[in-house]
Amino acid sequence: MKIAALVDEKGNALPFSESGTIKLYDFDDCGSRCLREIAYDPAGKLTLSAIRPYLSGIVAQLDGCKTFAMQKKAGLFNVIFEEELGVRIWGVSGSPVAVFPQIKEQAEALGAELDACAGGCFSCHGGGQTGGAEMIIPTPSPVGDIDSGMFQINLIEVQQKNSSLNSQEILLPFLEGKKDFIELEIICMHVPKWLDRELGALNLQLAVEEQKDGFCHAFVSLKS
């Protein structure tokens, strides 16, 4: 399988906020072989309008590779790679090559799960870590009176703090389990692609506004 990794000059994994080299590997039971090296420099490109096309250009050079290893998963990059570009991010430390066997095993297991999903949707599962404690999933917070039925969640902030989680893992448990809410406001960079598909089955509707903060504000409520 093909695995991409962002590394420094010593071959150790870097976070996406730092400049380095993206190496594209072909990995199998016989070992790894570097196919390509791509210079990576995010300086001056960390705004949403600049980073999207830059990362899209990077992915276009990866020959269809859908597995990417880096030092630490960052929310903004995670959302763009996983939910917009369909590339799974794996958090590693030290040399990514050393943990390619674990990444391959977990990626193949995840791929089998996705094939078994109804609709085979990528967003059912996020990327991964090569180890670590189970993540506690944040939930939307009440707005005003706790009994008002109004809730809000800033998906951008949540994913920056819990970057291994994707939007469906964060939102769907609330939407499926909270039967008495009136409206949920979701602050996000873009409306998750899976949301429209799930809302119909849950008898919910969606309205979207782009406000002065530059983010999408998606409002989910019961169908009238």
**What is the mean pLDDT of the segment spanning 131-148?**
69
Q: CA dihedral in degrees (159, 162, 168, 173; nearest 10)?
A: -130
Q: Which of 90, 95, 64, 65 is nearest to 77 (CA)?
A: 90
> Containing H/E element for 36?
strand 31-40
**What is the mean pLDDT of the segment spanning 188-212?**
83
Higher pLDDT, 44 or 74: 44
User: For residues 136 and 123, is the Cβ–Cβ distance under 8 A?
Assistant: no
**Residues 114-139: tens digit of each pLDDT:** 444 444 444 444 455 554 444 467 78
Spatial distance between the Cα atoms of 34 and 219, rounded to a whole number of angstroms:
46
> Residue 189 above 70 pLDDT?
yes
Q: Which of 154, 54, 34 is nearest to 97 (CA)?
A: 34
Higher pLDDT, 224 or 71: 71
Domains of the chain: 2-129 (3.30.420.130), 141-222 (3.30.110)
Spatial distance between the Cα atoms of 170 and 167, rounded to a whole number of angstroms:
5
Q: What is the pTM of this model?
A: 0.58
